[in-house]
Amino acid sequence: MKRLVFVRHGKSSWEYEVGDKDRPLKERGVRDAYLVADAYKLHYPEDCQMISSPANRALHTAVIFGRVLKFPVEQLQINSACYDFSGEEVLRLIKQQADAVNNLFIFGHNYALTSLVNSLGDLYIENVPTAGLVEIQFDILQWNAISEGKTAFQLFPKHLK
C-alpha cells in the first residue's frame, strides 16, 4: 500500500515586494502549519519521504512539519516539480518515486494540489486551504501505477481551532 500526503503551504504574506518564490509565511501561516502538523502526529508514518516546492512559503511549511513530526530536515528533498500550479509536474514526480518509498509527503501549491486530490482521491474537495492536509491511500506496489485511491482523511486549520 502507498500513502500520499498533500500539504498546501501556509498562508503567505503579500506585504513584501519580492518575487513569488520568495514570499514568506504570515504569522497565521506559521500557526496553522504547526496546528495541522501537531494534529497529524497520531497518523504520521515514520518511514516516509518529504518533498517540497522550492518556494519559501512551501519550504517553511515543510520544515515546520518536519520539526513537529521529528523528520530529519537533512532528508527533506526540494524539487522544482512541486512549484507547479496545474498538477502535471507533481504527478510526474510522484510516478517517478522509488517503490521502496511507501509514504510520500508533497508540500506545494494550489491549484495543483486541489486538482490532484480530486483526480486521485475518492472524495471531492472544493479547495485545499492554506496549511491544509489531505491523505490518500492506494492499493498499489509501484508509484508509476498510481490511479484513484481512497481519501483517508483531511485536516484543515479551520476544523482544528
Whether 15 maps to a domain, the answer reads no
Position 73 in a domain: yes
**pLDDT tens digits along 98-120:** 999 999 999 999 999 999 999 99
pLDDT in tens, 118-142: 999 999 999 999 999 999 999 999 9
pLDDT at 143 over 90: yes
Report the predicted TM-score, pTM, of the whole model to 2 decimal places.
Answer: 0.96
Cα–Cα dist 1/59, whole Å: 27
Position 108 in a domain? yes
pLDDT grade for 55, boundaries at 50, 70 and 90: very high
pLDDT digits (tens, 9 = 90+) for 64-91: 999 999 999 899 999 999 999 999 999 9
Q: Is the pLDDT score of 161 beyond 80?
A: no
Q: Is 132 in contact with 100 (CB distance < 8 Å)?
A: no
32 has a pLDDT exceeding 80: yes
Per the structure block, which three cell numbers stand in for 70? 521529528
57 vs 23: CA distance, rounded Å: 6
pLDDT for the residue 16: 86
Domain of 59: which CATH number?
3.40.50.1240
pLDDT of residue 87: 95
With respect to residue 16, please indicate whether it lies within any of the assigned structural domains: no
Instruction: Return d(Cα 90, Cα 117) in angstroms, integer.
Output: 12
Tally of structural domains, the chain: 1
- Using pLDDT thresholds of 50, 70 and 90, give the confidence band for residue 42: confident
SS3 151: strand
Whether 25 maps to a domain, the answer reads yes
Residue 131 inside a domain? The answer is: yes
pLDDT at 3: 97
Distance, in Å, from the CA atom of 128 to the CA atom of 154, rounded to the nearest integer, reads: 9
Residue 129 C-beta-side C-alpha neighbours within 13 Å: 12
Q: Is residue 136 part of a domain?
A: yes
Which domain covers residue 144, as residue numbers? 2-10+21-160
